[in-house]
Amino acid sequence: MNKLEDKIQHFISKRRVAFLGSIDSEGYPNIKCMLFPRKVEGLTTFYFSTNTSSMRVAQFQNNSKAAIYFCSTTFFKGVMLRGNIEVTQDQTLRDMLWEKGDTKYYPLGVSDPDYSVLILKVKKDEIARVYRID
């Protein structure tokens, strides 16, 4: 772990939301504000829960290329990491990421077919490209 990675991890840990970038069927970039990822593994893997029926799921199934962006609009600083997203309904993951109150989004519970998990795996050597928080 180097100092920059520590700084980025600290910066990310202070955020409430994440911006997720995707590519739509017409080749346009799309952006959506998401709740902070349900689980974060260092700077390598980010997990989101989402509705299977959502537009993003269809986009990532068609094109896995993604970006996650964390931003402080107060200090006008941000960090973007690129990667690829896998959409899964793996039950172990769905159980792990389930939170109280999620029936609001997934009325049928942890096995709701409309409950999916997005796994964003950051590109290899991506951190080397992010040379500062700006």
Mask: binding to a copy of itself, 47-66, rule CB under 8 A, as x and -?
Answer: ------------------xx
Sequence-distant (≥ 6) Cβ neighbours of residue 108 within 8 angstroms: 114, 115
Please tell me the distance from the alpha carbon of residue 52 to that of residue 81, in angstroms, as a whole number.
24
b/e burial code for range 37-56 (CB count within 10 A of at least 16 → b):
bbebeebeebbbbbebeeeb
Among positions 22, 49, 50, 116, the unique one binding a copy of itself when judged by CB under 8 A: 22
Instruction: Tell me the closest approach of the beta carbon of residue 53 to a copy of itself, in angstroms.
Output: 14
Q: Of 2, 28, 125, 131, which lies in the binding site for a copy of itself, with binding defined by CB under 8 A?
A: 28
Binding region for a copy of itself (CB under 8 A): 16-17, 19, 21-24, 26-33, 65-67, 69, 71, 73, 76, 78, 80, 82
